[in-house]
Structure 1
Amino acid sequence: MSIPGLGLSASVARTQLGPIDIIETIAVHELSRNSEWRFEVAISQSIELKVLSGTAELFGTELALNHPYTFRGTKAAIYSWHGCRLEVKGLCTEYIAEETPMISYVNAHFALEKSRDDAQESGGEGPRVLVLGPSNSGKTSLVKLLTAYAVRMGRQPMIINTDSREGLLSIPGILTATPFASTLDVEEGWGSSPSSGPSPVPVKSPLCYYYGLENPEDNTRLWKPTVSRLAITATSRLVDDPDVKFTGMIIDTPGSITSGKYSFDLISHIVKEFQVNTILILGSERLEKEMTRQLQAYKTVRGEEVTVLKLDKSGGCVDRDETFMRATRDIAIKEYFFGTPSHTLSPQTRQISFSDLTIYRITSPTTISSNFLPGLGEEETSFSCNIYEKTSAIDFGEMLHSVLAVAYARRGDAQETVRDAPVMGFVYVAEVDARREKVSLLAPSSEDIGERPLVWGCWPEAVLNLMG
């Protein structure tokens, strides 16, 4: 590993913090081939980065020469296959690493490309890839990298997010399916959705389903049907779109499903619903051995065996504490309603009577028992038939500062219909007037939501300073 700071210009002022440096003004870094510059930018800070020469990429997306990129609240790494010079303006924690797992990651990409070529020749479907690993093992970073490489090859992968802790082109609390036909936005992460306003990179249109809780095990009887509905929709897109069909799917997962009493049951549900035939495991030899053992006799409905492959965890993976994660959730919600510093939006607030709203609250978390992996057997369930509780006027005060999902359904629809409906958008409870029995809702557009049921979960948490 190289010493942090090599190749800096003489004008740079530095503060030493043990093995990691703090950049205070302008730095120029020289990256040798097959090395990466790892950096962390605090939530309240930003940096501007340029590639002065050579080639560099961020999570598989190539950076343009002499183009300024701005990063805020970011933990990431710039990788160079052939070497490059980077100019960095601003305050961040950084170091240069010469040992990275990128060779194994790109080999995994080429193995998937081989499967896609075979699918195109035979008229079949491309690989359905499940990425597993503990929390903070780099799962989402690997999914981004594999997505970017596929897009650079002219492919259109379907990206599935089953982790409600983090949003993909949406706010947290949502499970999404999104086909990617254009490059990722390196500054925005995945890119932007239509609600985000103008963007230099083509927007993506995710299909969203509301879960509204932090972890799958909080309420498996809600999480499982939501995943099943997501799988039905994604599979239908594969049938209708040959480009997506031959490219296949890449599925991101929450770290919590790799441990705990119901871990393999939850994993098996994803494997069965999406007909997964490839599993990439990051940073856990135990998980690799267990999944190989559990799936050795399993085949998809197409008669395919499941390939399990372990990849090394990157040394650049860092733990993201709860303070950082809470701040990123608040930023995601604020950007949904108000946009970014460069592209502001103008949401609208309206007052609506309690009686004109139908709001369902997710019931208390419940876990159910089911058969574990071998054979991916049928569930044995025992629970009440109610999915939600219908709110009354006394609940509205508790709802203040919460984000509610607007379901693509009608008032009076069955709870199962509301659960299986995609999300149209979100509203924020800005004010509750109990005396007048009215509530002020902040919405990104003026569309009437009176006929749409709203769903209220406990994730993400209430945002107190959204209007500040």
Structure 2
Amino acid sequence: MSIPGLGQIAPQAPTSTQRTITLRPFGEWRFSIPHQHSTFSSNSSAAGVTVRLVSGTAERDGTELAPNSVYTFLPGTKSKLFTDQGCTLEINNTGGYPLEDRVVEYPSPEQSPMLQYINFHFGLQDFERAAAVTAQQQQQHGSIRYQQMKAQPKPGPRVLMCGPRGSGKTSLVKTLAALATRMGSQPLVANLNPTDGLLSLPGTLGAAVFGTLMDIEDPEGGFGVTNTPISGPSAVPVKNPMTFYFGREKVEDDAEMWKQMTERLAGLVSRKFERNRDVRVAGLLVDTPPLEEGWWRGRRGWRVNYVVVLGSAELQRAMGTRLAGEKTSYGEPIAVLGLDKSDGAVEIEKGWRQKSTETAIKEYFFGGIKARLSPFTQSASFDELVVFKAPDEPYEGAPVLERVEPTPEMAHWTLAVMIASVTDSPQTIRFSSILGFIVIADVDVERRRVKFLSPVSGRLGNHPLIWGRWPEPYLNLLA
């Protein structure tokens, strides 16, 4: 082809998007794929950055990659792949994403924080095996004897992860949970940081049993909302979380409410331990908010026997002093352990977190690349909806909810559907578990009608709704 004045244009060779990297033992490939590209692209070949394990072994947050399988990492993924034996990875960026990545290798395994994390995992496994032996002995002796002794079977290791903002607490919790499931355990994982969501939308607190494989391709490393039953069929077994609706971004926005919710969540976890021997033996991993947000007030109900401090020798000393001589309700001392922070752990930028929140809401209603969902647009009269609004001010003993009539201001907000009755007290409704979420599309005051988006068809029935203060309505899902 020729263009007047420019002459003949030589054909351009296609730019290669594929490359191969080799990692030595205890090496890492760290990568970040920005949110700029839509996760709902119709071009599946450009859906993300693909990775194939050519040789050796590799894992993402404790979950192993299968040899020669192609994994697609979507926009909004910030993570790493680690190898303890060495590996070769084939990376293909056909979508042309502005991929930020680098290879990190250490002169010796002893210099990698992952060695500490793996050793800690094996220590927890020893504790779990001891708990399993005790449980087996109790079963052989018969439950009547132990009821007479009034001795509740001691659970496996209960770990509370703490540290400054951006110290890598959540990544380590994911890693320990995944390593435990690889050993056949069923640990219970709890998230007390409302900024994140454990198998739910941000603004919630929750806990779930992790006894099956975690989704390597999930941008949240297996903790995302697409790993729940609402997401439809999945190649990875879904989890069923116990979830409370906090409805605020940070603990300090309503510290007293957060404290009460964490105590109630701890009560549900205790009941789970009582009813499920395998979960009780596997133990508990608790992910906490950053230290400055006052998470310590909600610690006691969890009966943890390990407090792990990431990346802060000063905090480790303070925790050791505070817990010196203190014991759990099972009579165990509380060990305070300090682990090194990975130099790949960084504080998530506000813009990135906002985009992640938007993506989580979209995926809750519409699914992701691997599983598309078709939400339902429904309409209801004002009289058919019972809406409670969380107060703007923190909870200080006053009524925790105020019943309100739908208003245009409610448009594009995400409301929680509670497992409660509209006739229950505001206190009961506020501390009930979540059934699901809807998004308000439009409020017609003249006709007294509300149009909303729901992941399932059918009326809301007797379930009340809570209108929280976060996540804010960043986007219009019906635009």
TM-score range, shorter chain: 0.7 to 0.9
Which amino acid in the other structure matches residue 96 of structure 1? Answer: V
Which amino acid in the other structure matches residue 123 of structure 2? Answer: A
After superposition, residues 391-402 of structure 1 pair within 5 angstroms as 391-393=404-406, 396-402=407-413
TM-score scaled by length of structure 2: 0.86
The equivalent of 2:475 in structure 1 is 464
C-alpha displacement of 1:426: 0.4
The equivalent of 2:151 in structure 1 is none
Distance 1:146 1:139 in 2: 11
The equivalent of 1:96 in structure 2 is 103
Instruction: Say if 2:423 is the partner of 1:412.
Output: yes
Instruction: Say if 2:110 is the partner of 1:77.
Output: no
Where does structure 1 lack aligned partners over 5 or more consecutive residues? 1-10, 14-23, 368-382
After superposition, residues 282-361 of structure 1 pair within 5 angstroms as 282-361=310-389
Instruction: Say if 2:269 is the partner of 1:259.
Output: no
Kindly indicate whether the alpha-carbon contact (under 8 Å) linking 1:12 and 1:25 is maintained by their aligned counterparts in 2: no
Instruction: Say if 2:252 is the partner of 1:241.
Output: no
Distance 2:393 2:193 in 1: 17
C-alpha displacement of 1:171: 0.8
2:179 alignment partner, SS class: helix
The equivalent of 1:8 in structure 2 is none
2:122 alignment partner, SS class: helix
C-alpha displacement of 1:355: 2.1
Kindly indicate whether the alpha-carbon contact (under 8 Å) linking 2:399 and 2:427 is maintained by their aligned counterparts in 1: no
1:398 alignment partner, SS class: helix
1:304 alignment partner, SS class: coil
Distance 1:153 1:269 in 2: 30
**Shift in alpha-carbon separation, 1:114–1:358, aligned structure 2, 3 A:** same
Instruction: Say if 2:257 is the partner of 1:222.
Output: yes
Instruction: Say if 2:160 is the partner of 1:130.
Output: yes
Instruction: Say if 2:36 is the partner of 1:36.
Output: no
C-alpha displacement of 1:234: 1.1
C-alpha displacement of 1:221: 2.3
Aligned Cα RMSD in Å? 1.6
Distance 1:315 1:157 in 2: 27
Distance 2:169 2:14 in 1: 35
**CA offset digits 1:67-124 (Å, max 9, x no partner):** 1111121111111111111011113111111133110000110111111111112222
C-alpha displacement of 1:235: 1.0
Which amino acid in the other structure matches residue 102 of structure 1? Answer: M
2:410 alignment partner, SS class: coil
Distance 1:281 1:441 in 2: 44
After superposition, residues 171-250 of structure 1 pair within 5 angstroms as 171-188=201-218, 189-190=221-222, 192-250=227-285
**CA offset digits 1:339-391 (Å, max 9, x no partner):** 11221111111111112211111112327xxxxxxxxxxxxxxx343011221
The equivalent of 2:172 in structure 1 is 142
1:49 alignment partner, SS class: strand
Distance 2:286 2:278 in 1: 18
TM-score scaled by length of structure 1: 0.88
C-alpha displacement of 1:325: 0.6
Distance 1:415 1:286 in 2: 42
**Shift in alpha-carbon separation, 1:389–1:37, aligned structure 2, 3 A:** same
The equivalent of 1:120 in structure 2 is 132
Select the residue among 452, 462, 465 that pairs with 1:454.
465
Distance 1:294 1:138 in 2: 23
C-alpha displacement of 1:419: 1.8
Distance 1:322 1:295 in 2: 34
Kindly indicate whether the alpha-carbon contact (under 8 Å) linking 2:358 and 2:475 is maintained by their aligned counterparts in 1: no
Distance 1:333 1:201 in 2: 20
Where does structure 2 lack aligned partners over 5 or more consecutive residues? 1-12, 38-47, 107-111, 136-153
Which amino acid in the other structure matches residue 430 of structure 2? Answer: R
**CA offset digits 1:296-351 (Å, max 9, x no partner):** 13211111111111111111113321111111100000000011122111111111
Distance 1:27 1:79 in 2: 18
The equivalent of 2:63 in structure 1 is 61
C-alpha displacement of 1:464: 2.1
**CA offset digits 1:385-429 (Å, max 9, x no partner):** 301122134xx2111100000010011211221122110000000
| Identical columns (%) | 39
**Shift in alpha-carbon separation, 1:12–1:349, aligned structure 2, 3 A:** closer
C-alpha displacement of 1:12: 11
The equivalent of 2:43 in structure 1 is none
The equivalent of 1:376 in structure 2 is none
